[in-house]
Structure 1
Amino acid sequence: MRNCMMFLFYFAASQMLVYYFIPSTTASLSLSSQTDKLALLALKEKLTNGVPDSLPSWNESLHFCVWQGITCGRRHMRVSSLHLENQTLGGTLGPSLGNLTFLRLLRLRNVNLHGEVPKQVGCLKRLQVVDLSNNNLKGEVPTELKNCTKLQSINLLHNQLNGNVPTWLESMMHLTELLLGINNLVGTVPSSLGNISSLQRLILGRNQLEGTIPYTLGRLQNLIDLTLSSNHLSGEIPHSLYNLSNIQYLVLAGNQLFGRLPSNMNLVFPSLKEFLVGGNNLSGTFPSSISNLTELDAFDISYNNFNGNIPLTLGRLNKLQRFHIGDNNFGSGKTNDLYFMSSLTNCTQLQKLIMDFNRFGGLLPNFIGNFSTNLTLLSMIYNQIYGEIPGTIGQLTGLSFLDIGYNFLEGPIPNSIGKLKNLVRLVLQNNKFSSYIPTSIGNLTILSELYLVENNLEGSIPVTIKYCRQLQILTISDNKLSGDVPNQTFGYLEGLINLDLSNNFLTGFLPSEFGNMKHLSILNLYSNRFSGEIPKELVSCLTLTELLLEENFFHGDIPSFLGSLRNLNLLDLSNNNLSGTIPHELENLKLLNTLNLSFNDLYGEVPKEGVFSNVTAISLIGNKNLCGGIPQLKLPPCFKVPTKKHKRSLKKKLVLIIVLGGVLISFIASITVHFLMRKSKKLPSSPSLRNEKLRVTYGELYEATDGFSSANLVGTGSFGSVYKGSLLNFERPIVVKVLNLETRGATKSFIAECNALGKMKHRNLVKILTCCSSVDYNGEDFKAIVFEFMSNGSLEKLLHDNEGSGNFNLNLTQRLDIALDVAHALDYLHNDTEQVVVHCDIKPSNVLLDDEIVAHLGDFGLARLIHGATEHSSKDQVNSSTIKGTIGYVPPEYGAGGPVSPEGDIYSYGILLLEMLTGKRPTDNMFYENLTLHKFCKMRIPEEILEVVDSRCLIPLVEDQTRVVENNIKECLVMFAKIGVACSEEFPTQRMLTKDVIIKLLEIKQKLLS
């Protein structure tokens, strides 16, 4: 207060001097009024940063009491209210604010203020309301505000304030509103807030607060709004909160709270309008008593661990607008799971119904069409709903978002879908829909996103889709579409950003009208049967970042105009019939970080600049006539172009060389066939496989495996078969992975694995000895990869097939060592390579064990390379829609189309750990509906850990009483399980880092052997 008195004294003295020299029109004002005017003018200078056109009414020609946003008291003509909002003043609050001593209301909302709240605000002892919300203010909540003892409302929402929630607020005995949400406040929620008995609204959401919710908040009997969402609060919801009988808005979402909800919700919160507790760790059954909360308009318990069935009495909630129960364990996969929806059709105000990521089963009911036309969002993705979509779906004409992907729906997409003319997003992907895409889809003229990925849709792309001119995302990949892309279709879709038609049977030329899609960022057309040349009109698609045309029949030259697509960071033209030279214009693409031109008919000099300077960023294999490039490519040098006077003689020499070469090749071929037919043991010896320049022929591999005999077959995979064999002059057995090139994606897998393993060396990675790309004796293409043989087979066989793996059990120590080996391999791939390598298929069958049961991670057929060891920008990420992986091990974000990342490998690794612990595959029959291996283990930690552990890993340890005691074993098992659970959390940011995994596993090993 002393500071305020000194400030006022000096300001008043300066204004007294001004008072004697001001014009007569101003002199008529009292000295105190003149003080307010000058304070406002000084304040204007700060508020507007001196911009003259701002606040034009604040000038000398008008009395300050009629200035914009100013209200004066009738008695003293002093400023009582300063109210400005929704302007771009862009300045600061100056200290002259403290001179407006009659101010009762200060509201400067959404005027782009920055800086700090001046300390002089504490001089405003009459202040009742301070509202500085929706600005960019920094610093702490000023302590000087405690001098404003008449304050009733403090609203500092949506700024950048830091520091703690002040404890001195308990002295504000008239305070009814304390709104500090959406800032950067830290620390805990002060228990002293429970002493502000007048408080009606307490909003601290979206800060960085931690600790528990204070029990003392239960004293605030007048509280109608308690919002603590999106912090880091933990512990149980204190039971004292159930005494707040006047509460209308209870918002605790986005924390780490646990426990159960009261069964008598209607009694403890009779006036409840919004109950939002999603994104916590709450559990128990659905609180059926909410059916009696007749004022309820928003109910959200998503992202928790609730289970059981939903009551059939929800139809009483006639004011309900939002009902969100997604990401729980509701339903049982049975036919009656969706019956509760019938009662919800009585909720005529319902706008959003979200029930995704549960285990609801049964048929999609016909009465779904009985929902009110107020319904704008219906989301049921990731459940177990089957059968056909009823035609009554067309009655929901108010729908903007319909998400029913990732179920088991089948049959045709009903024509009635075309009646949903307000649809903005339609998600039907990952079901079993068949037949044609209905032509009525063209009626959805404001549709922005259409997802039809991974179904069994047939026929051609409907021409009517051209009427969906607002489309930004269109993904129809992984279906059975055929025929040509219709002309005069995509030329109308000028707003498309993502077009994915990959993995179908589409044919013909690419229409030139593709060039009309000037906002296109991603164009995925790979694995089809497109032919012709790459249309030059694509030069207009200047925003392209990904262009994937591999595994088609495109021919002609690689067009030089691709060098003008300056935003490209991924270009794949592999496995086509492209010819000619590589255009040097591609060197100009500064953002290009992945270029695949392999398996075409390219020839000539390879450029050296740009992406061509990074050997790990490019793939050129399968082009036999390339030369030059950077030394790491190990290509032959290019011959210089002959001068004009030498061309004629060179041509004669060339003809002679060709003739003689043809004769020589014929001779060598006849000799080779002679030896192969004889299977002579005196074949020329192969060089040592330790020589990195080794090349193994088809004939040598044929001999090594006895003609790829079934007796030497050791396994089959997604893309081929694996044979055991032995090569001359190589002392150890080998395995040969022979690709089945008729399988879609096999060639791409071969390239990925050769690229990924070719230059990596680590004790826990399978060592690739060589790759072979040749032709077999029938003249067919042949591709194979040669590895060192692992005598103990795969972890899969040791865990699940004892008879085929040497009849011995893995004890806990051995399983722990294997887990460490795989963790070290992942740490190397994610953190110690020039480019981050994401394996994309971590599972027991890809973990191979040598003589000493040292684990080696193999099968990099799905691996992806991304830049940056610690941060992965959007331009580096690879969309996971191109990744298959293995069911049970694929992280949930890949299924939702999220980017490939090291965190995805960690998820798969976590599932692998839990499989090692329990001996149960993630696809075991016991895991049905929404019960997963992850949840199964998480529920049994720590008390029931011995009930879920594979007994085979315990017997050797329990018998060895000299080294291990039973209590130690249990503790180690719990620690092991916790690592597996932590690695396989649903959200990538919640998963452990590889280095932390290694540290924890080493701790277990030390404890186990102590």
Structure 2
Amino acid sequence: MQLGYFWSFFCFYASVFFLFLGLTDCALGGNETDRLALLEFKARIPHDPLGVMSSWNDSINFCLWQGVTCSHRHQRVISLNLMSLQLAGSISPHIGNLSFLRELSLDNNSFSQEIPSEIGRLSKLQYLYLFNNSLSGGIPSNLSRCSNLIKFHVVNNQLVGEIPMEIGSLSKLTLFAVSGNDLTGAIPASFGNLSSLESLAAGENYFSGSIPNALGKLTTLRKLFLHINTFSGTIPPSIYNLSSLTDLYLAGNPFYPGSLPSILGISLPNLRHLGMFQAQLIGSIPPSLSNASNLEVIQLQSNSLTGQVPTFGNSLGLQLFSIEYNFLGNGGASDLNFLSSLTNATNLRVLVAGDNNFGGMLPELIGNFSTTLEIMQFNGNHMVGNIPAGLQNLINLIVFLAAGNHLSGNIPTVIGELKNLHILSLDFNELSGYIPASVGNLTNLYAFFLATNNLQGDIPSSLGNCQNLQILDFSYNHLSGSIPAQVIGLSSLSIYLDLSHNRLSGVLPLQVGNLKNLNVLNVSENMLTGEIPSTLGSCVTLEFLFMQGNFFQGPIPSSLISLRGLQELDISNNNLSGEIPEFLGDLIYLQVLNLSYNNFEGVVPVGGVFKNASRTSVIGNSRLCGGTPEFHLPGCNFKRSKGKLSLAWKIVISTLSGLLCVILVLSSYFLFLTRKKRNEPTSDFAENLHLMVSHHSLSKATDGFSLANLIGAGSFGSVYKGILDQSGMAIAVKVFTLVRHGASRSFTAECEALRNIRHRNLIKILTVCSSVDYQGNDFKALVYEFMANGSLEEWLHQKPTTEETQETPRSLNLLQRLNVTIDVACALDYLHHQCETPIVHCDLKPSNVLLDHDMTGHVGDFGLARILSEATQDLPASRTSSVGVRGTVGYAAPEYGMGSEVSTDGDVYGYGILLLEMFTGKKPTNDIFKEGLNLHNFVRAALPDRMPEIVDPFLLREIVKWENGGAGGCRVRKSLVSILEIGVACSAELPHERRNISNVVAELQSIKNELLGARGHRTITL
């Protein structure tokens, strides 16, 4: 009995002991494996600006490390969430050792390289979020071993290759999102086995082939995004039978032309968003579509749809309706009947029906549309009749476009009730009568188009109240009277003012000098008299000036020498007189000059634009002489004594011959000395930069540094485009003007700054040339990669199309501007925080940001850059220095003007000003900024409610396109406000109040993702 009792006691405690040992060994071993895996993960993250990884140390249990979550029972890692923490590095393969991991969230960071295949060992993994990074390589095929995977989200990376067919075995998968990558191949037919799938987002890749019919088996599918790929063939009919679908985006694919099924609204009753633009659709819009009563967005633009538009009386929640660029309507009176049903849509914000065949009259009932309507567009149709007076009820209308129709009658005076209107386009119609004075009430107006109508009478002086107007086009009408000083002096006009082809008379008012930010001024083909006002020289940003076909008289005013950016000048067919001023040949950007049919006399200059007779016209001026032979003008006959002239020439020739001999001997001697000197080391950077090209090579590459190849000029030199003979490579050559004080120091500073830095958003230096020219003078040049799209300055302050130029204006759209701001911020983040020693650029401005063929931004011109020593970094920003102001007026930090040392905070200030300029279109040196007002205060005072008043008008048009493309207008506007707020924060007056540039990169990237998501493009709301 006792023995049995003892044996039972022993067995019990032995089993407990061995069980404890087993559990302890298991727990301790597993825990240690997790800890080591996390440390390996940390080792692959070299960039951690927020110090997240600092908590990952042995002072606390790894389960308490930031972003780590462990299970309570086994203390094993079940979640690793490090989203939006600005981390950069690669994902360690040791992640596969976290065998209990259920969630891995690394989204919104800068992880690069491949997704490790070891993730396939995580059999418990349910959520894998890697979107908005820079991951490359392919999707691991062994991901199929993660049999519990529910959501796979890798949107906005750089993944390549095909989707592994093995993914089709993940029966629990509800989300598969790979939009915004570089994936190729076909969508695997095995995806038809994903019986739990609710969202398939594969838009904006390079997928090809046909959309698999097997997707029609996914009865739980709610969202299907396959837009902007290269899918071909036909759209599988089975897709239209997925009754659970709420979002269907197949836009932007070269499908074989097909039509929407007639029962579309019946088979897809839950549809909310229909994105079928640019989808090769033919046929008509099915009337059944109105049965989908939950519809909010209909995007059918840019197809070949025909017939009548059905009514949408059941679609009470419709917000965006876009059908532009089709062949809808037949020019008949009933074409616009569908508009009556849209009066029931109480949330309608965007109605775009331009560029179709709609006839009939714009009905009075448009006044019954919801007051939420912000954009209404009927451009390019065949509408007739008057503009309905009921338009006045649409009090929140921002954009009204009805150009290119046959609208007639008067412009209703009630148009002045639309106080929120920003863009009004009624050009290319048959409107008559007078321009109502009530347009002066449209104080938010940015762009006003009335060109090519039959309008008459005076230009209302009340337009002077429109202090935000930047574009005004009243050309090709019958307007008469004088040009109101209030209008010609409207300083807000900065893009173009076109009053050409009217009957305007009188003088050009002196107030034209207020247009200091204007790019294009066209007053041609009128009856203007008097002299060209000298105040025109104050319009220093003018690029195109057209004054031909008037009765101007007198000389060309000397003040026009200030128009340094002028590209075209036409003052032909006037009564101008006097000599042609030499300074016209000194305007380096002047490409086209027309002086014909005036009364000019004297010598035709031979420099600059006058070298090219095909771009310069002087015909019809009978008293001109000289010029290049191509002008075929008589020689200028100066009365001199023939005998004395010959003797003088003899003396000159003999003197020059003697001097030439002396110069040749001295040049040879000094050339020998100079070359000898060049062989001696002069500084550290000479040891690191190989002298791969000579002065001769660069001269040949740039055609002797010809004016035709000049692409820019700065304080210390000029930049030329060239082609290297030996490689055929396009290059940009920055030649330093060494006679200028500080040029040699700028050359050295730029070499020193660029010698050891490499970043995709910094200008790449190819080589350096420190030599002598043909005269034995010092010659220093830097050779860069050629940037095909020039500088950001050229894009921000671009000209629009005019009749004379016939060139489409270049402008950066919203996403391009945002991308460039991110590029520049990334460059600064690298210079300030990722270089071995921080570098301060000191001269950040649009002309120093260059754009390559992909519109990627590159920061250049390091001539003022400073490399911060450790001692310098420790100095307070307020510490004074004798260095003086570094940078350019308007962009240089205010503390520099008080003698403070340069700092990274100063660069952040310049970046903030650059950002504000990009999105407002206003330079910080704009004349409106005076008496304490600057660009920073101008923007800050307008945010958030008055944002549309300060944003670049080109972006207002872009907003229209976004909304046509399905973006939420509120979200787009909110994003613009956020961007401008970042610019305001970066340009704060006090250095310590400015944003950290690393945070700015993350914030802008987040805004970009929201914008793309708002458009249903790249990042999708899932």
Q: Taking structure 1 as the reference length, what is the TM-score of the superposition? A: 0.58
Decide whether aligned partners of structure 1 residues 533 and 224 sit closer, same or farther in structure 2, where only a CA change above 3 A counts.
Answer: same
Query: 1:41 aligns to what?
Result: 42
**How much has 1:454 moved relative to structure 2?**
0.7
Question: Does the 8 A contact of 1:140 with 1:163 survive in 2?
Answer: yes
Q: Once the two structures are aligned, what percentage of the paired residues are identical?
A: 43
**How much has 1:123 moved relative to structure 2?**
5.2
Decide whether aligned partners of structure 1 residues 542 and 102 sit closer, same or farther in structure 2, where only a CA change above 3 A counts.
Answer: farther
Decide whether aligned partners of structure 1 residues 550 and 163 sit closer, same or farther in structure 2, where only a CA change above 3 A counts.
Answer: farther
Decide whether aligned partners of structure 1 residues 108 and 433 sit closer, same or farther in structure 2, where only a CA change above 3 A counts.
Answer: farther
Query: 2:434 aligns to what?
Result: 436
Query: 1:621 aligns to what?
Result: 619
SS at the partner of 1:515?
helix
How far apart, in 1, do the equivalents of 2:224 and 2:436 lie? Answer: 48
**How much has 1:373 moved relative to structure 2?**
0.7
2:526 to 525, 528, 532: 528
SS at the partner of 1:193?
helix
How far apart, in 1, do the equivalents of 2:487 and 2:212 lie? Answer: 61
How far apart, in 2, do the equivalents of 1:577 and 1:536 lie? Answer: 17
How far apart, in 1, do the equivalents of 2:639 and 2:182 lie? Answer: 66
Question: Does the 8 A contact of 2:40 with 2:92 survive in 1?
Answer: no
**How much has 1:154 moved relative to structure 2?**
2.3
SS at the partner of 2:478?
coil
Q: State how 1:618-767 maps to structure 2 within 5 Å.
A: 618-639=616-637
1:502 to 482, 500, 514: 500
SS at the partner of 1:465?
helix
**How much has 1:304 moved relative to structure 2?**
2.1
Query: 2:227 aligns to what?
Result: 229
Output the amino acid matched with 1:297. E
**How much has 1:195 moved relative to structure 2?**
2.9
Query: 1:724 aligns to what?
Result: none
C-alpha deviations, 1:705-728, integer Å up to 9, x for none?
xxxxxxxxxxxxxxxxxxxxxxxx
Relative contact order (alpha carbons < 8 A, sep ≥ 6): 1 or 2 greater?
2
Query: 1:541 aligns to what?
Result: 539
**How much has 1:208 moved relative to structure 2?**
2.9
Question: Does the 8 A contact of 2:159 with 2:181 survive in 1?
Answer: yes
Question: Does the 8 A contact of 2:31 with 2:75 survive in 1?
Answer: no
**How much has 1:68 moved relative to structure 2?**
5.3
Decide whether aligned partners of structure 1 residues 510 and 74 sit closer, same or farther in structure 2, where only a CA change above 3 A counts.
Answer: farther
1:387 to 382, 385, 388: 385
**How much has 1:363 moved relative to structure 2?**
1.8
Query: 2:296 aligns to what?
Result: 297
Moved more, 549-558 or 356-365: 549-558
Query: 2:32 aligns to what?
Result: 31
C-alpha deviations, 1:492-530, integer Å up to 9, x for none?
442531222211122233333333334322222221223
How far apart, in 2, do the equivalents of 1:400 and 1:62 lie? Answer: 57
- Whether 2:358 is the aligned partner of 1:367: answer no
How far apart, in 2, do the equivalents of 1:490 and 1:323 lie? Answer: 39
Decide whether aligned partners of structure 1 residues 118 and 638 sit closer, same or farther in structure 2, where only a CA change above 3 A counts.
Answer: farther
Q: State how 1:756-835 maps to structure 2 within 5 Å.
A: none
SS at the partner of 1:488?
helix
Query: 1:597 aligns to what?
Result: 595
How far apart, in 1, do the equivalents of 2:51 and 2:536 lie? Answer: 48
Output the amino acid matched with 2:243. S
How far apart, in 2, do the equivalents of 1:557 and 1:68 lie? Answer: 75
How far apart, in 1, do the equivalents of 2:595 and 2:623 lie? Answer: 13
Query: 2:420 aligns to what?
Result: 422
Question: Does the 8 A contact of 2:52 with 2:66 survive in 1?
Answer: no
Output the amino acid matched with 1:293. A
- Whether 2:306 is the aligned partner of 1:307: answer yes
Question: Does the 8 A contact of 1:39 with 1:99 survive in 2?
Answer: no
C-alpha deviations, 1:626-685, integer Å up to 9, x for none?
333333333333456979xx99xxxxxxxxxxxxxxxxxxxxxxxxxxxxxxxxxxxxxx
**How much has 1:143 moved relative to structure 2?**
4.4
**How much has 1:269 moved relative to structure 2?**
0.8
**How much has 1:350 moved relative to structure 2?**
1.5
Query: 1:606 aligns to what?
Result: 604
How far apart, in 1, do the equivalents of 2:76 and 2:799 lie? Answer: 64
Query: 2:803 aligns to what?
Result: 882
**How much has 1:346 moved relative to structure 2?**
0.9
Output the amino acid matched with 1:882. E
Decide whether aligned partners of structure 1 residues 213 and 564 sit closer, same or farther in structure 2, where only a CA change above 3 A counts.
Answer: farther
Q: State how 1:887-926 maps to structure 2 within 5 Å.
A: 898=808
**How much has 1:537 moved relative to structure 2?**
3.5
Decide whether aligned partners of structure 1 residues 489 and 76 sit closer, same or farther in structure 2, where only a CA change above 3 A counts.
Answer: farther
**How much has 1:234 moved relative to structure 2?**
2.7
How far apart, in 1, do the equivalents of 2:54 and 2:538 lie? Answer: 47
Question: Does the 8 A contact of 1:466 with 1:493 survive in 2?
Answer: no
Question: Does the 8 A contact of 1:138 with 1:159 survive in 2?
Answer: yes
Question: Does the 8 A contact of 1:198 with 1:222 survive in 2?
Answer: yes
**How much has 1:179 moved relative to structure 2?**
1.6
**How much has 1:371 moved relative to structure 2?**
0.5
Query: 1:966 aligns to what?
Result: none
Question: Does the 8 A contact of 1:42 with 1:96 survive in 2?
Answer: no
Query: 2:556 aligns to what?
Result: 558
How far apart, in 1, do the equivalents of 2:134 and 2:298 lie? Answer: 32
**How much has 1:116 moved relative to structure 2?**
4.6
Question: Does the 8 A contact of 1:189 with 1:209 survive in 2?
Answer: yes
C-alpha deviations, 1:385-432, integer Å up to 9, x for none?
111112110001121111111111111111211122222211111111
Query: 2:272 aligns to what?
Result: 273
Output the amino acid matched with 2:359. G
Decide whether aligned partners of structure 1 residues 106 and 358 sit closer, same or farther in structure 2, where only a CA change above 3 A counts.
Answer: same
How far apart, in 2, do the equivalents of 1:417 and 1:606 lie? Answer: 52
Decide whether aligned partners of structure 1 residues 420 and 104 sit closer, same or farther in structure 2, where only a CA change above 3 A counts.
Answer: farther
Query: 2:462 aligns to what?
Result: 464
How far apart, in 1, do the equivalents of 2:329 and 2:270 lie? Answer: 29
Decide whether aligned partners of structure 1 residues 517 and 179 sit closer, same or farther in structure 2, where only a CA change above 3 A counts.
Answer: farther
How far apart, in 1, do the equivalents of 2:247 and 2:347 lie? Answer: 19
**How much has 1:241 moved relative to structure 2?**
1.2
C-alpha deviations, 1:933-986, integer Å up to 9, x for none?
xxxxxxxxxxxxxxxxxxxxxxxxxxxxxxxxxxxxxxxxxxxxxxxxxxxxxx
2:487 to 486, 489, 497: 489
Query: 2:404 aligns to what?
Result: 406
Decide whether aligned partners of structure 1 residues 567 and 339 sit closer, same or farther in structure 2, where only a CA change above 3 A counts.
Answer: same
How far apart, in 1, do the equivalents of 2:113 and 2:551 lie? Answer: 61
SS at the partner of 2:625?
strand
> Structure 1 regions of 5+ residues with no counterpart?
1-26, 648-869, 885-893, 901-1010
SS at the partner of 1:267?
helix
**How much has 1:250 moved relative to structure 2?**
0.9
Question: Does the 8 A contact of 1:225 with 1:248 survive in 2?
Answer: yes
Q: How many pairs does the alignment contain?
A: 635
Output the amino acid matched with 2:522. N
Question: Does the 8 A contact of 1:39 with 1:100 survive in 2?
Answer: no
How far apart, in 2, do the equivalents of 1:344 and 1:66 lie? Answer: 57
Query: 2:517 aligns to what?
Result: 519
1:205 to 200, 203, 206: 203
SS at the partner of 1:421?
coil
Moved more, 335-344 or 165-174: 165-174
SS at the partner of 1:304?
coil
SS at the partner of 1:513?
helix
How far apart, in 1, do the equivalents of 2:510 and 2:242 lie? Answer: 66
C-alpha deviations, 1:274-314, integer Å up to 9, x for none?
112122322222211112111111112222222222334x1
Decide whether aligned partners of structure 1 residues 72 and 567 sit closer, same or farther in structure 2, where only a CA change above 3 A counts.
Answer: farther
> Structure 2 regions of 5+ residues with no counterpart?
1-27, 646-787, 811-1022
SS at the partner of 1:263?
coil
Decide whether aligned partners of structure 1 residues 879 and 516 sit closer, same or farther in structure 2, where only a CA change above 3 A counts.
Answer: closer
Query: 1:747 aligns to what?
Result: none
How far apart, in 1, do the equivalents of 2:294 and 2:411 lie? Answer: 38
1:109 to 98, 107, 110: 107
Decide whether aligned partners of structure 1 residues 574 and 161 sit closer, same or farther in structure 2, where only a CA change above 3 A counts.
Answer: farther
How far apart, in 1, do the equivalents of 2:534 and 2:73 lie? Answer: 79
C-alpha deviations, 1:840-861, integer Å up to 9, x for none?
xxxxxxxxxxxxxxxxxxxxxx
Q: Taking structure 2 as the reference length, what is the TM-score of the superposition? A: 0.57
- Whether 2:207 is the aligned partner of 1:286: answer no
Query: 1:809 aligns to what?
Result: none
How far apart, in 1, do the equivalents of 2:584 and 2:135 lie? Answer: 47
SS at the partner of 1:361?
coil
